Amino acid sequence: MALITCHDTAFGYEGHPVVSHLNFSLNTGDYLCVMGENGAGKSTLIKGILRLIKPMAGTLETGDGLLPSEIGYLPQQTAAQKDFPAGVEEVVYSGFLNRRGLRPFYSRAEKQTAATLMEQLGISHLKKSCYRELSGGQQQRVLLARALCATSKLLLLDEPVSGLDPVATQELYRLIGDINHTTGITIIMVSHDVRSAVEHASHILHLKNAQQFYGTAHDYVATNLGQTFLGGHADV
Amino acid sequence: MFDVLVEMFSYPFLVRAVIVGALVSLCAALLGNSLVLKRYSMIGDGLSHVGFGALAVATAFGWAPLAVSIPLVVLAAFLLLRLSDNSKIKGDAAIAMISTGSLAVGVIVLSLTTGMTTDVCNYLFGSILAMNKTDVYMSMVLSIVVIVIFLLFYHKIFAVTFDETFARATGVKAGGYNMLLAFLTAITIVLGMRMMGAMLISSLIIFPALTAMRLCKTYRSVILCSVVVSLICFFIGVVVSYLYAMPTGASVVMVNILAFGIFAAIAAVKGKVKKPA
């Protein structure tokens, strides 16, 4: 059974659909890139999958025993976080909160998991640092570690590379690809970067307030849509 | 110096005031960090004005001040949070409306009943004589409740403060924790209001947090530092007000401003000046 299935689904705010006619299904271990121009409904779809907003039409089903609390999420950064005094460890540990119920403190096993994840993402030397003093790429890796603390099944990333320099961008794509290959975590990423998306993802979903394309990355390249975007006319 | 302290603590009313003040400073510092970081600083200010209105009404009808003002201020806190979430009236405008509204109600009720006496001045700017024994016990119990709840939910409060979207997405009931924060803030404000004054109480919430943030880099160290700063500033403020016969609330605020200045200067010297939060 598929991990996520949309049947003619629509999402929006205050009665106005932002994105509609979604029909796709995603299997465990897939790596989906959601493409589209600004305002195409990419972030709205992510909020829908996270169940922060309800479908206005159609259905969104989850399979393979996926619970809402088992989704890891890497949101777009907010302005408030830029001057927030938080230690790297504190931020990473907060990923465990959804599993802890009312237990007030973190367990040794959780701290060990977090340490392993920070090691894998190459940020263990930063664990005593202040989050707001890190570079953009380092901050994203800290938030990625937090998201991975929250999930072992599905990772949602909302424009994780925006604002990063080319080196940090490639590094983050490599890390996300590695996570997908080695652990089999399903990945849904919103991105503007068509070239990297086609290179790393297994599937592409192209939105323009409705579904324009859904299929494998290989098929996407062959379509007119894919060619237009890869041709450099859009925001590549 | 020691003689002054002994002399001060020979007055029972001063001992009561110092106990309540210290507990309130502690609670205010704990909550203040989250409020400042969540951009909710003005809620503290708004609630203190609601507290003034409630106190005035309670005095006019001869009701117990805490029993009337705590439920009213808690109600106002929830209302303010609702309005902040709802986009029809923006949060800051809603706070201005509610705070000036309750100030007006309070002033009218007072002038119709007791008249504009020194009582009004005491409500607005605080009086160290305001605490009787019942108040002290009630303040102690409520402060301990605030501290215990804060410690139990410390990690969740951090998560909701740092990144509400992520917290919501992973199944934390962020709305509930915002309510909890507003609820605890309301209680703290009512407890501290009569000593610090309706006009000055919100400084206890805002200053220690901002002072600690000049120098501390992790959430835990900011919390600990702000608590220590808050307590020290309160004690110095009380002693200064006793020595020079100055209003207590205003003295505590002045010491807090000084502490903020010192911390900011140290941060500047370290070459790490940050934008004010």
Q: Contact at 8 Å (CB) between B248 and B237?
A: yes
**What is the extent of the structural domain holding A118?**
85-152
pLDDT in tens, B136-167: 888 888 889 988 999 888 888 898 888 888 88
Binary contact (B162, A133; C-beta < 8 A): no
Same domain, A109 and A221: no
- The closest CB to that of B167, out of A97, A129, A133, belongs to A97
A13 close contact with B: CB closer than 8 A: no
Can you say whether residue B240 is alpha, beta or left, with left for phi > 0 and alpha for psi between -120 and 50 degrees?
A: alpha
User: In this model, does residue A132 exceed pLDDT 60?
Assistant: yes
- The closest CB to that of A87, out of B155, B170, B217, belongs to B217
Domain ranges of chain B: 2-269
Query: If DSSP states are collapsed to H, E and C, what string results for B66-107?
Result: HHHHHHHHHHHHHHHHHHHHCCCCCHHHHHHHHHHHHHHHHH
Nearest chain A CA: its distance from B219 CA (Å): 5
pLDDT in tens, A7-29: 888 898 888 888 888 888 888 88
* Arithmetic mean of pLDDT over chain A: 84
Which residues does chain A have within 8 Å of residue B169's beta carbon, measured at their own beta carbons?
50, 52, 71, 73, 75, 156
Mean pLDDT of A126-151: 88
B277 close contact with A: CB closer than 8 A: yes
Which residues does chain A have within 8 Å of residue B167's beta carbon, measured at their own beta carbons?
94, 97
Q: Contact at 8 Å (CB) between B174 and B168?
A: yes
Binary contact (B163, A78; C-beta < 8 A): yes
B88 close contact with A: CB closer than 8 A: no
Same domain, A157 and A222: yes
Same domain, A201 and A103: no
User: In this model, does residue A98 exceed pLDDT 80?
Assistant: no
- Most confident stretch, A34-48, A84-98, B221-235: B221-235
Which residues does chain B have within 8 Å of residue A104's beta carbon, measured at their own beta carbons?
151-155
CATH code given to domain B2-269: 1.10.3470.10
What's the structural domain count of chain A?
2
Same domain, A144 and A206: no
Best of B156, B158, B162 to disrupt the A interface (most A CBs within 10 Å) is: B162
Same domain, A141 and A123: yes
Same domain, A132 and A209: no
pLDDT at B277: 46
Q: Which of the listed residues A135, A152, A169 is the one where a domain comes to its end?
A: A152
pLDDT at A234: 44
pLDDT at B13: 84
Which residues does chain A have within 8 Å of residue B155's beta carbon, measured at their own beta carbons?
93-94, 97, 100, 104-106
Same domain, A59 and A176: yes
B38 close contact with A: CB closer than 8 A: yes
Same domain, A41 and A109: no
Q: Which of the listed residues A102, A124, A152 is the one where a domain comes to its end?
A: A152
- Which residues lie below 8 Å from residue A172, measured CB to CB, with a gap of 6+? A137, A140, A141, A144, A160, A161, A164
The answer to whether residue A108 is domain-embedded is yes
pLDDT at B116: 63
pLDDT at B232: 96
Best of A47, A67, A94 to disrupt the B interface (most B CBs within 10 Å) is: A94
Query: If DSSP states are collapsed to H, E and C, what string results for chain B?
Result: CHHHHHHHCCCHHHHHHHHHHHHHHHHHHHHHHHHHHCCCHHHHHHHHHHHHHHHHHHHHHCCCHHHHHHHHHHHHHHHHHHHHHCCCCCHHHHHHHHHHHHHHHHHHHHHHCCCCCHHHHHHHHCCHHHCCHHHHHHHHHHHHHHHHHHHHCHHHHHHHHHCHHHHHHCCCCHHHHHHHHHHHHHHHHHHHHHHHCCCCHHHHHHHHHHHHHHHCCCHHHHHHHHHHHHHHHHHHHHHHHHHCCCCHHHHHHHHHHHHHHHHHHHHHHCCCCCCCC
Which residues does chain A have within 8 Å of residue B274's beta carbon, measured at their own beta carbons?
83
pLDDT at A212: 82
- The closest CB to that of A90, out of B38, B169, B219, belongs to B219
A105 close contact with B: CB closer than 8 A: yes
Q: Higher model confidence: residue A230 or residue B24?
A: B24
Same domain, A53 and A165: yes
Q: Looking at this predicted complex, what is its ipTM?
A: 0.81
Which residues does chain A have within 8 Å of residue B220's beta carbon, measured at their own beta carbons?
87, 90
**B260 burial class (0-12, 13-18, 19+ CB within 10 angstroms)?**
buried
Nearest chain B CA: its distance from A45 CA (Å): 13
B275 close contact with A: CB closer than 8 A: yes
For position A203, which CATH number holds? 3.40.50.300
B22 close contact with A: CB closer than 8 A: no
The answer to whether residue A79 is domain-embedded is no
In this prediction, the residues of chain B whose per-residue pLDDT falls under 50 are 273-277
Binary contact (B163, A130; C-beta < 8 A): no
Same domain, A97 and A111: yes
Binary contact (A106, B39; C-beta < 8 A): no
The answer to whether residue A22 is domain-embedded is no
- The closest CB to that of B218, out of A71, A80, A130, belongs to A130
pLDDT at A235: 44
The answer to whether residue A33 is domain-embedded is yes
Q: Which of the listed residues A130, A152, A174 is the one where a domain comes to its end?
A: A152
The answer to whether residue A78 is domain-embedded is no
